[in-house]
Structure 1
Amino acid sequence: MSDDVLVVEGVTKRFGAVTANAAISIRVRAGEVVGLLGHNGAGKTTLVSQIVGLLRPDAGEIRVAGVDAVAHPGTARRLVALQAQGQVPLDGLTPRTAVELAGRLRGLPRREARRAAERLAVELDITEWIDQRALPEGRGLSGGVRRLAGFAMTVAAPAPLVVLDEPTNDVDAARRRRLWDAVRRLRDRGAGVLLVTHNVLEAEKVVDDLVVLDRGQVVAAGSPARLASGLDDGLRLEVTLPPGGDDPTPDVPFAVRQRVRAGRRVLLVVPADEASPAVTWAASLRDTGVVDGYTLGPATLEDAYLALTESTGAAGDELTEVTSHA
């Protein structure tokens, strides 16, 4: 029996002349977390909408736990626990009530739903607000607590496939760590998790495999280590430019394998044997005020991601890319 809980093969979705998804293929197995990584507008949420039956693909196949999600969207939807990108409407409810209701709707007995709400409140550190009612216009509960309550509603009852669309939006750093721990526990209990995000650093910590989308297409797939290793033994030289300052990086006295600019940051991937001249160059520019500062270290997954999606960046940063030169 296959351990695939999600198989997406050749899915294409168009909106008029715009192709939101172009022949996308993804596989999620039981007991693994797969990250769907891409900048805003890369086509991530459109794909999720098709997986859960809110949109019908123009071409391709989607199977959830063996069920044809295109032919039987209702059946497939019952096998998916989804935390959508937007906030869950909680007005008038407490987190405890909302999580218990979500659990009951997904088949949990009343007592188990109550226990799930209490357990998740402790795991996510929101017990202080578990009985505080959400009020209209964002009153009563903060955006972060609402987001965590939405996550708890999603995972209160077991499901073969859990889809999390930007689950850490509005969540503070300490509770983000708790949420990621909860995602790992889902994986350890055998659920397949599709994590949709544009946060490279957080994705690297929790996922087993990554699928990188850019302008509706899969541009890379594999483990974080494999994607980062695509830069071989390169080092990461990050230069921070002063506001309004000129960019000196197009003309450097050492070899550069990859150059990507994101706002005031310029990332240069340089061969390891060029470390000494690179540091000398960067230090001299810092000392003369041409750059605000610099760092040098091993190339990271973020560098690989920026190299793969050089024309448009995460969170809408404008990026430019120049290939290697000496």
Structure 2
Amino acid sequence: MLLRVDNLTKIYGRGARANDDLSLQVGEGEVLGLLGHNGAGKTTLLNQVAGLARPTSGTIVLDGRDPVADPAYARRVCALQLQAQAPLTGVTPRQAIDMLGRIRGGRRQRVRERTGQLLAALDITEWADTPGEKLSGGVRRLTAFCMAVVEPGRLVMLDEPTNDVDPVRRRLIWQQVRQLAADGCAVVVVTHNVTEAERSVDRVVVLDHGRVATTGTPVELRRRASGDLRLELTLTPGVAAPEPPSWATRTTVRGQHMVISVASAGAPQAIAWAQHLHASESVAQFVLNPISLEEIYVGLTGTSEEDHDAALAA
């Protein structure tokens, strides 16, 4: 494993634990999604791996060495995109990306070529020579991503890389994340966008109050759920919700929407039951889908993507 974290604890101030006996690992060519509510300890973990903060206890091994004892080594091996926007006042995206690539030891011609490739891949070439203070938040975030990966090192850590980015370019970012892994980098992505992560990561670690709540591939996490299918019914206006069937593992009703968790083996039963309700006009429509990673995440932490977005807007 390129990165191994064992029993990591970070205590701030009067005993506040940002990380609490946390252990995880990530290998070359792997994309690890790091999920968790605000304050779950995700950013603190990245800062310790990158040599920017010292753990209270526990160990970090990065490519066989201790980044806490040798933070200069950590900065050479790690590329880190911070959650905060990169300072771009007085420089253009092209200049900022090129400068970071050279600072990280890239050869002039190689960095120049790589800068152009990234600007094109993320579809921001038209802003490449625009002063940073005139850029939108989304273009600034995309520029910060390019700055982190222009000369990536062996471990790339991205803290909320798609924040403020439009849906089309979010997909382009995830394509570049997958390309980094294909090139042999280990990639750790902190994100609140569980839906995006589900499509793009190899493995997930969910943090809750500084601890690992669960880890595994998206497929493994679905298999562990009490019902790995989700039957969604839109109730006919004015008709009461039907009694949940005995095979339902979990049922929720919100307004005109009823959601039932179903084990895979119960799929034929669920469809037959829903079809009967539809034929009797008790429900207007229904759909049976696999349970999403976001639902599993909410079940573990009690925080949904919508909750996070609402908190940011408040």
- TM-score if structure 1 supplies the norm length? 0.82
Residue 274 of structure 1 corresponds to which residue in structure 2?
270
Quote the offset at 1:45 in angstroms. Answer: 1.1
- Per-residue CA shift, 1:294-313, capped at 9, x if unaligned? 6432222222222222x343
Residue 91 of structure 1 corresponds to which residue in structure 2?
89
Rate the CA distance shift 1:248–1:58 in 2: closer, same or farther, 3 A.
farther
| Corresponding residue to 1:13 among 4, 10, 18 | 10
- Per-residue CA shift, 1:271-312, capped at 9, x if unaligned? 42334435666996655xxxxx86432222222222222x34
Residue 312 of structure 2 corresponds to which residue in structure 1?
none
Quote the offset at 1:188 in angstroms. Answer: 0.9
Rate the CA distance shift 1:59–1:36 in 2: closer, same or farther, 3 A.
same
The runs of 5 or more residues in structure 1 that have no matched partner are 242-246, 288-292, 319-326
| Corresponding residue to 1:296 among 256, 266, 288 | 288
The 10-residue stretch of structure 1 (156-165 or 272-281) with the greater mean CA deviation from structure 2: 272-281
Rate the CA distance shift 1:23–1:248 in 2: closer, same or farther, 3 A.
farther
Distance 1:156 1:52 in 2: 17
Give yes or no for contact 1:267–1:303 (8 Å, CA) kept in 2: no
Distance 1:308 1:42 in 2: 12
- Per-residue CA shift, 1:235-271, capped at 9, x if unaligned? 2134689xxxxx969x634443235799998753124
Q: Secondary structure in 1 aligned to 2:132?
A: coil
Give yes or no for contact 2:294–2:304 (8 Å, CA) kept in 1: no
The 10-residue stretch of structure 1 (104-113 or 278-287) with the greater mean CA deviation from structure 2: 278-287
Rate the CA distance shift 1:93–1:267 in 2: closer, same or farther, 3 A.
farther
Structure 2 counterparts to residues 138-157 of structure 1, below 5 A: 140-157=134-151
The runs of 5 or more residues in structure 2 that have no matched partner are 310-314
Residue 65 of structure 1 corresponds to which residue in structure 2?
63
Rate the CA distance shift 1:22–1:276 in 2: closer, same or farther, 3 A.
farther
Quote the offset at 1:231 in angstroms. Answer: 2.7
Distance 2:5 2:255 in 1: 35
Q: Secondary structure in 2 aligned to 1:14?
A: strand
- Matched letter for residue 277 of structure 1: W
Q: How many pairs are equivalent?
A: 301
- Matched letter for residue 10 of structure 1: N
Rate the CA distance shift 1:315–1:79 in 2: closer, same or farther, 3 A.
farther
Distance 1:248 1:130 in 2: 55
Aligned residues: percent identity? 45
- Matched letter for residue 42 of structure 2: K
Q: Does 1:26 align with 2:24?
A: yes
- Matched letter for residue 60 of structure 1: G
Distance 2:92 2:254 in 1: 41
Say what the alpha-carbon RMSD is for the aligned residues.
2.9
Residue 107 of structure 1 corresponds to which residue in structure 2?
105
- TM-score if structure 2 supplies the norm length? 0.85
- Per-residue CA shift, 1:100-132, capped at 9, x if unaligned? 000010011222221111111111111111011
Structure 2 counterparts to residues 171-186 of structure 1, below 5 A: 171-186=165-180
Residue 300 of structure 2 corresponds to which residue in structure 1?
308
Quote the offset at 1:187 in angstroms. Answer: 0.7
Structure 2 counterparts to residues 150-299 of structure 1, below 5 A: 150-231=144-225, 234-238=228-232, 252-259=244-251, 267-271=259-263, 272=267, 273-277=269-273, 295-299=287-291
Quote the offset at 1:48 in angstroms. Answer: 1.2
